[in-house]
Structure 1
Amino acid sequence: MKCLFFLSTLLCLALTVSASIPRIKGKVVEAGKSTPIDYADIILIEKGKIDPVSHTLPQTDGAFTLSDIKDGEYSLLVRAVGFDVYTRSGIVLNVSAPVLNLGTIEMQPLEHGLAEVEIVAQKRQVIYKLDKKVIDASNNLLASGGSAVDILENTPSVRVDAEGEVTFRGSNGFAVYVDGKPSVFSGSQALEQIPSGHIENIEIITTPSARHDTGGDVGIINIITKKHSQQGLNGMVNLTGSTMLSRGVDFLLTQQDKASRWYLGGGWNDRLRKSKFRQEKTTIVSDVTTISDSDGPRESNNFDYSLKAGWMYTLPRTTFNVDVQGGYGGRTRKGDLDYKEEQTKAGLPLGSGDYISHDDYDLHETYYQGTAGFAHKFNDKGHDLTGSYYLKYGGDAMEYFQSDLFNYQGERQQGHRAWEDEHRWTMRGNLDYIFPYRETGRIEGGYQYFSYLEDGDYSMQFWNPEKREFYWRDDIYNTFYFKYGIHSIYAIVADSYGSFDFQLGLRGEHTHRVLRSSKEWANRTYDKFEFFPSAHLGYNLPGGDKILASYSRRITRPELFFMEPYITYRDYYSAEIGNPDIRNEYINSYELNYKKNIGEHSLSASVFHRSRKDKIERLRVPYQAGVTLDSMANVGHDYSTGLEVSAQIQATRRWNVNLNGSYYHYKIENEYKTESGDETSNNYEITLNNSYDAGKNTRVQLDGNFVGPSVTTQGKTNSFWYVNLAVRQQLLNRKLNATLSFRDVFNSARYVSNISTANLKSVTHIRPNYPLITLSLSYTFNNFKAKSAQGKENHDLFEGTNH
């Protein structure tokens, strides 16, 4: 892996040596505010021709450079969503003026009484900046009517399995933020909660600075929701339905006055997944060998029904905001499987069974949450003070399991039911201060307190075949109380000297965690103060290219379900138990990024290395005849070293191609499989995205995806591939968008995982019921346009969470 870093460094140095020569430079800002605009398209066209000769995007401070331009006469076009188009002709380049400085280009907002100019062009699906990837939500047709999970599906190193679970660079330990603030939900559940129609874009930050929470071993996925800043009442509504009987409706209304803005939104979404499930399993318990086969359909539903509202009031230097939301959400899963088993001991048969297995899982919560905040600008040079307070209550929270075995006459043979009743409180308070000590330098600091509390009880019934009734298992009944609080302080210094940028940060966190249970042997208390450094170094190359090196130390703290000291059942033959002695994971992440624009094309490359101590993973062992037991354990150390490459090619004026690929070497120093030593795999994913404008109002998207195999602590997962197709038609003067999508057109996706230990062999096959056909309708009224964040603060050299 050192060789990979060495070769990648040589590649970056070679590109540096061959860096292009700048010919035109300037800066793009909003007129009247001098706020930098870093999302504009800057296009240079030679006189007498139609096709552009060069294309670029500004840096975070609005500055841009066009390079490798021959002498001649040109016209410049600058366009940005929400602004009038800027054009300038008569630009002459010759040997007497090798570098032409256009100065500051002021973009006029459309709402300032200007006639609206409509630009029809393809936006980039993924914008690669040096500190993050920015995924444009509106440009992914396959995400229409879906959630943030569907938007992320084509992102390099992101995998979505048959159950909708998301992993990034081989881990599901990412943190989810919404508009720069940590989400109260976690992982895939947080991503499923947000309708794609409410999302402007998604940022993936792989080496966050000390400003952010340290949770999330592979970084932060930051969801930027649509905000509206034009005057008057505006809105949109989205409808969706699919052949899987998924259905959803969501809406968003906004009213913008001069100083006041309010919004009202909501959604009703049922996202159904259907699949064919098969599991072949062999367990050895007390010299009894059980061979079982489970085969049949499964259906799941991730649902959310919610309303949200907010109000913002803006004074000349101070802004106040209040947001509230309430809803009911969760997920269900049902299975109807043919279950067969045979038992032997010393090669002699003990018995066999042939049953129908019904399992039912339901996890739901009624939640209420609110946020109040303020932002004060002492001046226009980035001297700011911000604060926020967040509170959430999750009541009526229930996790229910039911599993039964019936004979073919419909008579129950075995079964059990379990209830986990919970109440949850989450609180977070932040105060952040930024002081610019010179034009390019700043000092930043802040404090945060975070608290999470969950209490409840767990009860279970088993079926008595003789009395033909369920009875309570008093030995399993358990009460629990779980709370942890984190006090955090951080400091950051950042500056620029010539072509060199740096940002150094240090975060200190004190964690106090308490676990209490009816099983007193499992009671635990944890107190610890720790430091988490971060560093970002950047070098600006001629031609607007840039190299960035970054480092961040992260942590994964055990959640309650990692530690619950009692047995639960997901189905009749799959039990699980927590581990109260589970330890924190500690992660060191390193990354080297390079990005180069070549006319309207771009090439991005990222080299990364992640080392993780005390990796937390779910392990499976035989428990009873035919029944396995899952538990969380610190399985050892693991390492990921790899390369991500993205090429964005404007093949023709109407055809845009995105080729994304990632390759990384993964190694587990396994403490639980000593007979075979360490496990390694070479993991890779390739995504080819084609977007074609078939007409003025018609766009077609065709994706091809290949996901390579991977290893786990106890086994491996197989490779798979699939192809998606979508067509969008705009109607009613583009106020109505109709999108028809086909997922897994060739029904080729197969999810296969293998577990192999001395006393357990298990192979699980999941085949989704594809192709999945979805129709989505989106209607906007009164000129609703989610303009990009033109008011974004520009104090952050390396991260883009200020929107």
Structure 2
Amino acid sequence: MIQGKIVDETTHNGLPYAEVTISNITPKDSVYGVITNAAGSFKISKIPYGSYQLVVSFMGYANHKKEIMVNTPTLELETILLKEKSEKLSEVLVKTSKPSIQYKVDRQVINASSFPSASVAMDLLTNIPSLQVDVNDNLKYRGDGIFKVYINGHPVQNGTDKLRQISADLIDKIEIITNPSVVYGSEGTAGIIQVLLKKNRLQGYAINANSKVSTLGDANGYLSLDKKSEKWGWYFNATGGESVWSQLDVVKEQTVIHGLLSYSTNINQSEKNGQKNLYIEAGFNYDLTDKDYLDLTFTLNPIKTNQFNDDLGAVIAQKNSIIDTGLQEIESYLLKSNRITKYHYIGGNLNFSHYFNKDKTHKLSAYADVSSYLSPYTERQLDEKQFVSETERLGYYNYEKNEFVLNAKLEYNYPITDETTLDAGIEMDLDDIPEIGSTSGTFDADDNLIPFSNQRNEQRIDFMQNVYSGFLNIKSSWKKFEYQFGLRMEHTDTKSNYQYVSIDGENIFVPAQHNFSKFFPSLHLLYNLNDNTQWVANYTRRINRASYYALVPVVEYADITTYYTGNADIKPSYINAYEMGFKNTWNDKSFLSIQVFHRKTIDVIEYFNYADEEGKLINTPENVGDSYSTGSEFMGNFKCNVWWETNVSISLFMYKIHVNFMDDDYSKNQFNHNFKWNNTFNFLGDYSLRLNMDYNGHRFQPKVIQKVL
């Protein structure tokens, strides 16, 4: 038997599905071949003694050839390093690049280097079909699926914010895993987004600095220092500046009917939102022995991150009778809105790995990540209504103090046989915010907030959500068939105690505590029809826990037409997801991938609107019913010729939601379609032109507004 492992020469990451062939040197009458597994390892059994030629090939890499002698029952080869292919054409060296988007049997991979115009991680995600960012800044996929964000294999809090902070220059690639195994947490009904950062594997110093500006208003800089020696290394990264996420003109129309009256509001305004920040990360790694490895990372916002949303426009508000055509009331004014969010945090993580064998398949690892705010998190909304004769200044002020976040994981990987591996581990995610405050009111000329006299005041929340979990996963293979199945158990303990002072001056305390335990199974199947064709099928069960602010029952001003209140009784959403896929590769960089899927989400969480007696909307999260997504995705990468490479993805799916809440019981269907086309044109030297096209079809969210409190 011959066994070994194939890895990338630069990153040292295993290369799954690389082709390994062994043939007799003399006589050349026998050829043996296999495909590496997900870790890049391979083994070939029942090889007679003799001399052979080993050939390793993988798309985008140069072939590796060597002669080997089989003279023992088991021959363990040294790790084989593959390097990216380069070719010499007319005395001009052109280095081949990775496809901009790769579709593997279990994930979609975005190679960051293919999108030099991207400033942060969020920019790269716009290239994934069916992925959208909703009005609450949640990443949604195939309808209402929510992602959980991971960085280098570990979950992070406030994932959307992280994706808007991490410079694209730091990123090697981003993986979209829609049906991850139980090794990952069950959070995220759409799966996980995994950001894999670059690592310097070359000994010596590496220095990188750049700056980017755009006509939208972006102005960012990036600096990286890296030192690597044989047994240790360190790095320092800093990125900062101003990013503008969007700048657009918006028309909003809203009509609320209450009794015999209708309240209509028309807003025509320009919007600009983005952030100003400085983010620093430093790390140190040390090889304690040839089997023990230690990594430390430290992160810091040395100055407060400032996220902003500025709106300017005109408002016309009317009150009419629905039986009398005469106009009841009308008012018009200029509206200037400004929302500022500031936070200032520090964090760090420790990662220790111990390997029990040479090929690093038997492993024990421990990880801990901790973070906290250096100063209170604050958010302020100020809406200035400018009438002809006066100005009203309304809004709110929120804060969070002393948040503590901890993620810790202990994982054990054991190769039971050459084909079978056992993964087991325990994990905990702790999030404790002992004080959250919210006040709504009017602002004076000095921007001091004066609380509303006719509403509850001094609102305070003590929030905690702890998740404790354990998992067991088995991976194995038999001939051309690979499979893995696992089970994860999670116990969730949540607290959102709420207190406030009522209009009558009474202190009110509303406790809210919930705890529950659930099991989450997963199953993944893979069949290698031949060296170029794979079939895959999988199933997972996942969960979407409501965000902490959705669980706290504060009542606060949101904008000129809406108030917001949380819901301590909201239940988590559960999803059962099924996928089946096919992939065929040819011509080095060309491939075609087809995937069909079905997903059912139970207790979908959506923001529901009610109308009060004055026509104001009350916006609150609710479990509105169940949803279904069924469809397919077609993805292909084609190397048309030396100078043109094209990547096409099409997503077609039917989204259905059955709303069953209060007095509403109805279903709504919508056919969704998305199309993305990325082209790369290579010229002499290192010059290239990229042309990207993107189309997203119409989509909806369930909203019911004709309710009276």
Give the TM bin, normalised by the shorter chain.
Answer: 0.7 to 0.9
Judge conservation of contact 1:271–1:303 (CA < 8 Å) in 2. yes
Offset of residue 286 of structure 1: 4.5
Partners of 1:208 and 1:192 lie apart in 2 by 23
Corresponding residue number in structure 1 for 2:609: 620
Corresponding residue number in structure 2 for 1:218: 190
Q: Paired residues, what number?
A: 647
Corresponding residue number in structure 2 for 1:668: 657
Quickly say closer, same or farther: Cα 1:621–1:330, change in 2 above 3 A: farther
Partners of 1:564 and 1:646 lie apart in 2 by 42
Deviates more, 1:678-687 or 1:492-501: 492-501
Partners of 2:133 and 2:473 lie apart in 1 by 35
Offset of residue 614 of structure 1: 0.4
Corresponding residue number in structure 2 for 1:588: 576
Instruction: Report the AA paired with residue 694 of structure 1.
Output: F
Query: Which of 72, 81, 99 is residue 124 of structure 1 equivalent to?
Result: 99
Corresponding residue number in structure 2 for 1:339: 315
Judge conservation of contact 1:561–1:578 (CA < 8 Å) in 2. yes
> How large is the RMSD of aligned CA atoms in angstroms?
3.3
- 1:329-362 CA distance string (max 9 Å, x none): 3521111221111212342432211111122211
Query: Which of 394, 398, 402 is residue 423 of structure 1 equivalent to?
Result: 402
- 1:35-70 CA distance string (max 9 Å, x none): 854498999xxxxxxxxxxxx997645589xxxxxx
- 1:74-153 aligned within 5 A: 85-86=62-63, 106-107=80-81, 119-143=94-118, 146-153=119-126
Partners of 1:418 and 1:503 lie apart in 2 by 49
Match of 2:123, SS? helix
- 1:396-545 aligned within 5 A: 396-408=376-388, 411-413=390-392, 415-454=394-433, 455-462=435-442, 470-473=450-453, 475-519=456-500, 522-545=510-533
Offset of residue 304 of structure 1: 2.8
Runs of 4+ aligned structure 1 residues displaced above 6 Å come to 39-43, 161-164, 673-676
Judge conservation of contact 2:94–2:685 (CA < 8 Å) in 1. no
Quickly say closer, same or farther: Cα 1:464–1:363, change in 2 above 3 A: closer
Offset of residue 498 of structure 1: 1.1
Corresponding residue number in structure 2 for 1:564: 552
Offset of residue 275 of structure 1: 1.4
Offset of residue 120 of structure 1: 1.4
Match of 1:301, SS? strand
TM-score by length of 1: 0.75
TM-score by length of 2: 0.84
Corresponding residue number in structure 2 for 1:698: 687
- 1:55-90 CA distance string (max 9 Å, x none): x997645589xxxxxxxxxxx996899x9x55769x
Is 1:387–2:360 an aligned residue pair? no
Quickly say closer, same or farther: Cα 1:36–1:549, change in 2 above 3 A: same
Offset of residue 491 of structure 1: 0.8
Is 1:154–2:127 an aligned residue pair? yes
Unaligned runs of 5+ in 1: 1-25, 44-55, 65-75, 90-102, 111-116, 715-755, 761-803
Judge conservation of contact 1:289–1:625 (CA < 8 Å) in 2. no
Partners of 1:360 and 1:166 lie apart in 2 by 24
Query: Which of 366, 369, 373 is residue 344 of structure 2 equivalent to?
Result: 366
Task: Give the fraction of aligned pairs with identical amino acids, expressed as a percent.
Answer: 23
Partners of 2:180 and 2:190 lie apart in 1 by 10
Is 1:208–2:188 an aligned residue pair? no
Deviates more, 1:655-664 or 1:392-401: 392-401
Quickly say closer, same or farther: Cα 1:304–1:165, change in 2 above 3 A: farther
- 1:84-126 CA distance string (max 9 Å, x none): x55769xxxxxxxxxxxxx99944779xxxxxx9651242111
Offset of residue 758 of structure 1: 4.3
Offset of residue 599 of structure 1: 2.4
- 1:626-646 CA distance string (max 9 Å, x none): 532211000000011110110
Query: Which of 325, 340, 343 is residue 299 of structure 2 equivalent to?
Result: 325
- 1:476-505 CA distance string (max 9 Å, x none): 320101101111111111211111111111
Offset of residue 172 of structure 1: 5.5
Offset of residue 759 of structure 1: 6.7
Corresponding residue number in structure 2 for 1:251: 223
Judge conservation of contact 2:677–2:693 (CA < 8 Å) in 1. yes
Judge conservation of contact 2:7–2:82 (CA < 8 Å) in 1. no
Partners of 2:100 and 2:205 lie apart in 1 by 29
Instruction: Report the AA paired with residue 187 of structure 2.
Output: G
Is 1:354–2:332 an aligned residue pair? yes
Offset of residue 312 of structure 1: 0.4
Judge conservation of contact 2:256–2:706 (CA < 8 Å) in 1. no
- 1:105-154 CA distance string (max 9 Å, x none): 944779xxxxxx965124211111111111111012342xx111111111
Instruction: Report the AA paired with residue 138 of structure 1.
Output: S
Offset of residue 662 of structure 1: 0.6
Corresponding residue number in structure 1 for 2:634: 645
Quickly say closer, same or farther: Cα 1:503–1:182, change in 2 above 3 A: same
Corresponding residue number in structure 2 for 1:597: 585
Quickly say closer, same or farther: Cα 1:163–1:618, change in 2 above 3 A: closer
Partners of 1:185 and 1:479 lie apart in 2 by 21
- 1:680-702 CA distance string (max 9 Å, x none): 11111011111101332211111
Quickly say closer, same or farther: Cα 1:228–1:57, change in 2 above 3 A: farther
Instruction: Report the AA paired with residue 311 of structure 1.
Output: F
Unaligned runs of 5+ in 2: 22-33, 43-54, 67-76, 85-91, 501-507
- 1:517-555 CA distance string (max 9 Å, x none): 105564211121211111111112123321111111101
